Amino acid sequence: MPELRSHARRNRASVNPNPNPNPINLLPQPDSNNKFTVRTRQRRTGQNRKQKDAIVADVDDNKLNDNNGNEQNNILSGAEFETTPLGKKEGEDIKELRVLREEVAEKKMDEYDSGGRSGDKGPGAEDEGSTAPLPEKVFYLLDFLLFWQDFHFWTFDVQVGGSPTYRIERKLGKGGFGQVYVGRRMGANGPGAIEVALKFEHRSSKGCNYGPPYEWQVYNALGGSHGVPRVHYKGRQGDYYVMVMDMLGPSLWDVWNNNSHTMSIEMVACIAIEAISILEKMHSRGYVHGDVKPENFLLGTPGTPDEKKLFLVDLGLATRWRDSSSGQHVEYDQRPDVFRGTVRYASVHAHLGRTGSRRDDLESLAYTLVFLLRGRLPWQGYQVLISFFKMSLCSYLLFVTLLTQVFVEYVVNLKFDEEPNYAKYISLFDGIVGPNPDIRPINTDGAQKLIYQVGHKRGRLTMEEEEDEQPKKKVRMGMPATQWISVYNARRPMKQRYHYNVADVRLPQHIEKGNEDGLYISSVASCSNLWALIMDAGTGFTAQVHQLSPYFLHKEWIMEQWEKNYYISAIAGANNGSSLVYLQQSYKVSDSFPFKWINKKWREGFYVTAMATAGSRWAIVMSRGAPFSDQVVELDFLYPSEGIHRRWDSGYRITSTAATWDQSAFVLSVPRRKPADETQETLRTSAFPSTHVKEKWAKNLYIASVCYGRTVS
């Protein structure tokens, strides 16, 4: 085997000074023609020994060839490698380069961000990414350079933002937007040599968007905060933004994985105590982390005074929960097509696309603690219905323990803008660990300070509830139920009629009788393949047609009615696939709630005017020229009580409802003309609300929408 040598050997400082104060040095340096020339020498060990040649890279015009001869982009801009074959044909050299490149590309790394030493995940581990996966091909060349540095082929040094020169030694892992490497300060050798974590982000990544990484802003705001690693230098060189950070130790996932997938109750309790205090400090600075999970909690470097300290890393998904200028809580919103975080640990609100707030970090922490203690979460291995599992009380009872049950119940019932009681949460775990903080497996100094500070402000050191404190209404805990959901609007006195448990053959009779009395259908729903009709004199219609079809929205019939100037005004679907259609303009049938389509039609001036479900399928009808000025959607796996009340406070009113066995959707709109009486009420009942309807009529409240499906008892 030939010995590979280079002009600049490993662990030897370069003698070529670089005038650029922030260089990324790739040694050997390019020549005057902007080419890297890399040559190797063979050691002669005897005439009878078979000669072997070194692999030489050939990269021309920033391209790499794949197995099919196609060119692929190379992220090292403005540089080429010159081929210098030694006794081999050019094609053979390139072939060997391709094999090397493929081996580097196939090496899977865990999702770690910062200087944690991360072991490979065991068999069966899930590869769960964050919101914006990084295009890994932009790091192929970095990995290639590091691979050959191990053979003394060349060295790879970094210097940014006035920092010392660091030599990259190995790859630690990757985060949501970048990759992390170990850097050793040049000129510092031996066991006491200074090591740092170097995070590289390509300028085209979503975290940068051709500007400084958003994560830099967060580190600037959180600099020096308890549990956040220090950033020493940062700057840009070439196509990369580089951040020089503290070198840290293993992640909690590593600790759990290296301990036969188990963790003691005392260890988990200590983690909970310190993690809550870290999140409290971060939240006090106005930020939520947005991706709390075992991989993002790192311990300090082993063998140092910080080895028992806990750190929270990877701030690329952090967002503000408090406006920096006004100091007010950010506005509530829901975008079901937007997800941020890691699927396994994300809060239910994140799955539903709701604006992130402090409660989401704490809910993710609760799932993290359960995972570390039990080694598994109930929804692991499922590709769908994960958020449904998280919403189910039954699943909570399956996986929570006495250690975490109360904490889970507290955090999943926090309101969007509610201030968490961090000290109370810490007190839930404090009694489990030993009284002497010095012998605890995790340093909890930050948590002890928090308990004292909060207790001192309140005039007491215990965080127990006041005796006269009223029990809080639970937002999400409760038994899932399937019920009737009816919505009532205040109207001037008018005639309204309802029919329920109507079989198919009885529909025409009720509709014809209502039309004779001047009533037209305003809402329809289905339960157990029987129909419910709401007919009233306030629809404004002069004529109405209907069809009971075995198809969920019969396209040919609808097109025919549109030609006659009839438009869909109400729809409902039965579990057997039948549908009942009345008057409208543009519609979509989908196996899941089609929020992306709705959002697209909103931009085109359409508004949702009717919704229905048949089994698990959704049908949405949207109309141009509807009497609304704005519209939003509230989607939930139980009943979005908090979201509906927040929308009501902002002037929205429910205009359409529909539900399946596992989801309920409410469309809320702002009317162009403000009604004289904006009163609106909702009612959830196990049976059709025939007795309640008459009570509402007495108050001039009339049914505006009705459906049957998922709620909570």
CA–CA separation, 490 vs 683, rounded Å?
14
pLDDT for 642:
92
Closest to 525 (Cα-Cα) out of 710, 269, 260, 706: 706
Give residue limits of the domains in the chain.
157-246, 251-459, 480-712
Find the mean pLDDT for residues 87-92: 40
Judge whether 630 and 594 are in contact, CB under 8 Å: no
CA–CA separation, 581 vs 687, rounded Å?
24
- Lowest-confidence region among 76-85, 187-196, 479-488, 698-707: 76-85
- Stronger pLDDT, 18 or 537, i.e. the higher one: 537
Closest to 567 (Cα-Cα) out of 548, 541, 593, 591: 541
| Domain 157-246: top CATH class | alpha beta
The DSSP call for residue 334 is B
List the structure tokens of 303: 């063998």
Residue 188: pLDDT over 70: no
Write down the mean pLDDT value for the chain: 75
Annotated catalytic residue: which of 246, 291, 360, 417? Answer: 291
- Stronger pLDDT, 46 or 308, i.e. the higher one: 308
Find the mean pLDDT for residues 360-372: 95
- Express each pLDDT in 547-604 by its tens digit: 888 877 788 888 888 888 888 877 777 776 666 554 447 889 999 999 999 999 999 9
pLDDT for 453:
57
- Stronger pLDDT, 23 or 356, i.e. the higher one: 356
How many alpha carbons lie under 13 Å from residue 671 in its C-beta half-sphere? 11
What band does 420 get if pLDDT is binned at 50, 70 and 90?
Answer: very high
Report how far apart the first and last C-alpha atoms of the chain are (Å, whole number).
Answer: 74
pLDDT for 169:
84
- 694 Cβ neighbours under 8 A, 6+ residues apart: none
Maximum Cα interatomic distance, the chain, rounded to a whole number of Å: 111
List the structure tokens of 534: 């709401």
Distances (CA, A) of 232 to 118, 196, 246, 468, 501: 22, 9, 8, 50, 70
CA–CA separation, 127 vs 124, rounded Å?
9
List the structure tokens of 295: 């991989």
Indicate if 291 belongs to the active site: yes
Other Cβ atoms closer than 10 A to 648: 15
For helices 265-284 and 422-430, what crossing angle results, to 10°? Answer: 170
pLDDT for 450:
64
Going by the annotation, the residues of the binding site for ATP are: 199
pLDDT for 674:
87
Q: Are strands 568-573 and 547-549 parallel, antiparallel or unpaired?
A: unpaired
Judge whether 543 and 553 are in contact, CB under 8 Å: no
Collapsed DSSP state (helix, strand, coil) of residue 296: helix
pLDDT for 90:
40
Residue 503: pLDDT over 70: yes
pLDDT for 665:
95
Instruction: Please give the model's pTM, rounded to 2 decimal places.
Output: 0.71
What band does 385 get if pLDDT is binned at 50, 70 and 90?
Answer: low
Find the mean pLDDT for residues 186-195: 66
Judge whether 655 and 668 are in contact, CB under 8 Å: yes
Distance of CA 647 to the CA centre of its chain: 23
- Lowest-confidence region among 64-68, 73-77, 502-506, 678-682: 73-77
Closest to 94 (Cα-Cα) out of 65, 60, 61, 63: 65
pLDDT for 404:
78
Judge whether 449 and 671 are in contact, CB under 8 Å: no
Q: In this structure, which long-range contacts are made by residues 519-522, counting pairs with CB atoms below 8 Å and at least 24 apart in sequence?
A: 519/495, 520/544, 521/546, 521/569, 521/570, 521/582, 522/569, 522/570, 522/703, 522/704
pLDDT for 570:
76
Residue 209: pLDDT over 80: no
pLDDT for 661:
86
Residue 396: pLDDT over 60: no
| Domain 251-459: top CATH class | mainly alpha
CA–CA separation, 141 vs 62, rounded Å?
11
pLDDT for 299:
95
pLDDT for 684:
92
Other Cβ atoms closer than 10 A to 475: 19
pLDDT for 120:
41
